[in-house]
Amino acid sequence: MASNFDHENHGRTEVPDVVVSRLPQYVRTLTQLLSEGVQIANSQQLGEKLQITPAQIRKDLSYFGRFGKQGRGYNVNHLLEELRQILGLTVTWNVAVVGVGRLGRAILSYPGFTPDGFQLVAALDDNPDVVGQDVGGLTVQPVAQLNDVIQRHEVSIAIVAVPIAYTQGVVDRLVECGVKAILNYAPIMPQVPEHVNVRNIDPLLSLQSMTYYLANGTVSE
């Protein structure tokens, strides 16, 4: 089926990060609806599940094309496949985990990556007591072999789960190896070139933003 996504127009129109960050939520919700046998859904129904206004949903989707017909809603399966294509989820992405401490081990043991198109192919650490161990079905390799591992496994995405003191150095090495997408779990925002995309995961920041609403007796939207 041909995509309704206007690739040429997308190249000229910048999509806000907040919109991109919501697309995976749409994919998850549409997948759930499909599993429930729902074939057609309108923006009102999607908004109720996502706690987003119908107008916002229509605006988000308008960045990528026209997917539904007024008064009829969206074909769930078609919209799901279109969004998966836009997000690049129709192919498998090889992922390496750098840092095999408690967090790294939890990530490597998580079974949910593969069904969604992410294949954990390498685990690396600089602790000689950890190198050589089998974690999540992967043999931990030394960070000294990072470039070889990245090239050999054609790694597209790296997950960094190292102590804060080592984060920037590890990120620098990943950039040198050609990795352009990094998910960072350390409580620091590493500096990277403009062509490298970094997403920082810091639960403490999320907790601190939540306490604002608790302290002020308000409800977040």
How far is it, in rounded angstroms, from Cα 110 to Cα 116?
12
Provide the CATH number for the domain formed by 7-86 in this structure: 1.10.10.10
Q: Give the three-state DSSP class for 121.
A: strand
Q: pTM of the prediction?
A: 0.85
Domain ranges of the chain: 7-86, 93-204
Q: Name the residue among 193, 128, 187 with its Cα closest to residue 160.
A: 187
List the chain pLDDT tens, one digit each, 221 residues: 333 444 444 444 789 999 999 999 999 999 999 999 999 999 999 999 999 999 999 999 999 988 866 668 999 999 999 999 999 999 999 999 999 999 999 999 998 888 888 999 999 999 999 999 999 999 999 999 999 999 999 999 999 999 999 999 999 999 999 999 999 999 999 999 999 999 999 988 889 989 998 998 766 55
How confident is the model at residue 153, as a pLDDT? 97
CA 73 to chain CA centroid, Å, is 27
How confident is the model at residue 4, as a pLDDT? 40
In angstroms, what is the C-alpha Rg of the chain? 20
How far is it, in rounded angstroms, from Cα 210 to Cα 21?
19
Is-contact 61 4, C-beta < 8 A? no
Provide the CATH number for the domain formed by 93-204 in this structure: 3.40.50.720
Is-contact 82 67, C-beta < 8 A? yes
How far is it, in rounded angstroms, from Cα 36 to Cα 20?
25
Terminal CA-to-CA distance of the chain, rounded, Å? 37
